[in-house]
């Protein structure tokens, strides 16, 4: 039931909530841009059957949201819909002390030394995948990137490329992701099909199969006392709570599912957007290829990745924070049952911060690093994505290997529009690209 109160919320679109919901989902970037032009950097959005969302894009207000005490704002509540896929112990769903405890257990898996240990494996997977891609014909590159990043995350998590569990797990995860990309399929009404039939019943069977495979792998590693190596599963098995107790199998399972799901789709989509932009910016593409060929391409490659994440963030906003106690943001006091939404799209397309904000200009990041509250493709504060470093490392390896061996050009004229895919936005035609050998 939506909130009904006279509290002092910022102005926002006056359309009926069903029409706002349609714009929010069908034309997300245009909806946000129009609302900001009319109402400023903070505005209220009312979606059907939900409490108000306050969209904020002023860096000072974003800082106030990201640094609020964990008992005042709850980001985990806004992602509860994902529980059937990632499980109740996922760091995406937890709040307050439970979230910080779980985060401390997961972070060592993304330590610099472990990430460096994974680089050769990621490069091997990438070269193998790219070599198998057909040349000469226009085709969406997004599905290819999805297959590539799935192989990469499976290798990073388990440290192996084949096996009696890994091969069927690959298929199960693909089916689960297809289900999860339709948010309606996760809502309670979808679970009420009679006689155990329908998409939800199929999902439960796939989930049970996936759980069996992952728990089997966890048990095998425990039996072997296997806590070494760079693979992420071994880091979690070796992690201990502050009282000295190890992570439970259920905790490890839920964090692995989170990494397998979140670390696959988002990176694939960001890579597709990067290719889409590069094929339409000959100057940037030529500069990047030359830098990669000369072996000194890391600074410019890093700038390209950062600019791609700024210009085409896959997630248009950080996880919504549900107000649990009154909080003042931007001079207004918000009370419980309001959601505060830091908009990555809007702050990263703010002309006051990024001149010519809709242009693809990696040079922005050659002389300076992104700002903490002006560049938020991975969220921020205590909820910043734990896999952010790995995602950028993976993107760098994939782009370097692709451009070293392949020429890329756009498969269709004109830029591709954004298209909503669950909580992400993707290139409207999947980033149609023509690949030819170099």
Higher pLDDT, 191 or 207: 207
Strand segments, DSSP code E, in 48-126 are 53-56, 73-74
Buried b (16+ CB within 10 A) or exposed e, 406-430: bebebbbeeebebebebbbbbbebb
What is the distance in angstroms between the CA of the first residue and the CA of the last residue of the chain?
58
**Check whether domain 17-437 has CATH 1.10.630.10, yes or no:** yes
- Give the number of other CB atoms < 10 A from CB of residue 19: 12
Buried b (16+ CB within 10 A) or exposed e, 89-124: bbbbbbbeeebeebbebbeebbeeebbeebeebbeb
* pLDDT computed for residue 378 by the predictor: 95
- CA 204 from centre of chain: 24
Average pLDDT of every residue of the chain: 89
**Least confident residue range of 92-101, 159-168, 188-197, 306-315:** 188-197
Q: Per-residue pLDDT tens for 1-56?
A: 444 444 689 999 999 999 999 999 889 999 999 999 999 999 999 998 889 999 99
Res 242 pLDDT > 70: yes
Sequence-ordered list of residues with C-beta below 8 angstroms from that of 233, at least 6 positions apart, any chain:
157, 158, 159, 217, 218, 221, 252, 256
Higher pLDDT, 103 or 184: 103
Average of pLDDT values for 361-379?
95
Instruction: Classify the C-alpha dihedral 421-176-183-82 as positive or negative.
Output: negative
- Could you tell me the residue ranges of all domains in the chain? 17-437
Sequence-ordered list of residues with C-beta below 8 angstroms from that of 143, at least 6 positions apart, any chain:
430
Q: Per-residue pLDDT tens for 393-421?
A: 999 999 999 999 999 999 999 999 998 88
- Most confident segment among 17-26, 258-267, 370-379: 370-379
Residue with tokens 């819909």: 81
Q: Per-residue pLDDT tens for 44-91?
A: 999 988 899 999 999 999 999 999 999 999 987 777 777 888 888 888
Q: What is the C-alpha to C-alpha distance for residues 202 and 197, in angstroms, rounded to an integer?
A: 7
DSSP secondary-structure letter at 10? P
* pLDDT computed for residue 111 by the predictor: 78
Give residue 352's pLDDT band: very low, low, confident or very high (50, 70, 90). very high
* pLDDT computed for residue 2 by the predictor: 46
* pLDDT computed for residue 3 by the predictor: 46
* pLDDT computed for residue 4 by the predictor: 45
Sequence-ordered list of residues with C-beta below 8 angstroms from that of 245, at least 6 positions apart, any chain:
none
Structure tokens belonging to residue 148: 């590539």
Q: Is 311 exposed, middle or buried (0-12, 13-18, 19+ CB in 10 A)?
A: buried
Average of pLDDT values for 171-183?
77
Res 183 pLDDT > 70: no
Average of pLDDT values for 195-202?
73
Give bridge partners of residue 246 from the DSSP assignment.
240
Res 216 pLDDT > 50: yes
């Amino acid at each position: 039931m939506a909130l009904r109160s006279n509290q002092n919320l910022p102005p926002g679109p006056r359309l009926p909530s069903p029409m706002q919901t349609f714009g929010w989902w069908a034309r997300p970037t245009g909806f946000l841009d129009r609302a900001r032009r009319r109402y400023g950097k903070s505005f209220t959005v009312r979606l059907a059957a939900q409490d108000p969302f306050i969209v904020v894009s002023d860096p000072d207000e974003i800082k106030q949201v990201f640094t609020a005490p964990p008992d005042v704002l709850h980001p985990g509540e806004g992602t509860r819909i994902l529980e059937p896929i990632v499980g109740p112990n996922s760091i995406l769903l937890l709040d307050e002390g439970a979230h910080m405890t779980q985060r401390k257990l997961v972070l060592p898996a993304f330590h610099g030394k472990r990430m460096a240990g994974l680089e050769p494996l990621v490069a091997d997977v990438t070269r193998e995948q790219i070599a198998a891609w057909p040349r000469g014909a226009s085709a969406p590159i997004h599905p290819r990137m999805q297959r590539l990043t799935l192989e990469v995350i499976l290798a990073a998590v388990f440290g192996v490329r084949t096996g009696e569990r890994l091969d069927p797990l690959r298929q199960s995860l693909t089916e689960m992701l297809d289900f999860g990309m339709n948010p309606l399929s996760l809502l309670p009404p979808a679970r009420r099909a009679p006689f155990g039939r329908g998409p939800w019943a199929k999902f439960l069977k796939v989930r049970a199969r996936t759980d069996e495979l992952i728990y089997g792998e966890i048990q095998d590693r425990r039996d072997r006392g296997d806590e070494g190596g760079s693979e992420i599963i071994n880091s979690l098995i070796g992690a201990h709570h502050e009282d000295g107790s190890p992570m439970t199998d259920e905790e490890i399972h839920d964090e692995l599912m989170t990494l397998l799901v979140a670390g696959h789709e988002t990176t694939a989509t960001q890579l597709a957007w990067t290719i889409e932009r590069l094929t339409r910016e000959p100057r940037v593409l030529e500069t990047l290829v030359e830098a990669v060929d000369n072996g000194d391409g890391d600074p410019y490659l890093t700038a390209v990745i950062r600019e791609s994440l700024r210009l085409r963030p896959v997630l248009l906003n950080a996880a919504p924070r549900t107000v649990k106690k009154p909080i003042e943001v931007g001079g207004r006091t918000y009370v419980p049952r309001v959601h505060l939404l830091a908009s990555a799209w809007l702050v990263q397309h703010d002309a006051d911060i990024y001149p010519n904000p809709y242009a693809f200009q990696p040079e922005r990041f050659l002389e300076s690093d992104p700002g903490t509250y002006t560049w938020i493709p991975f969220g921020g504060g205590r909820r910043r994505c734990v896999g952010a470093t790995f995602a950028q490392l993976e993107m760098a390896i994939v782009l370097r290997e692709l451009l070293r061996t392949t020429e890329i050009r756009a498969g269709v004229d004109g830029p591709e529009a954004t298209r909503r895919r669950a909580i992400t936005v993707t290139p409207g035609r999947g980033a149609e690209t023509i690949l030819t050998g170099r």
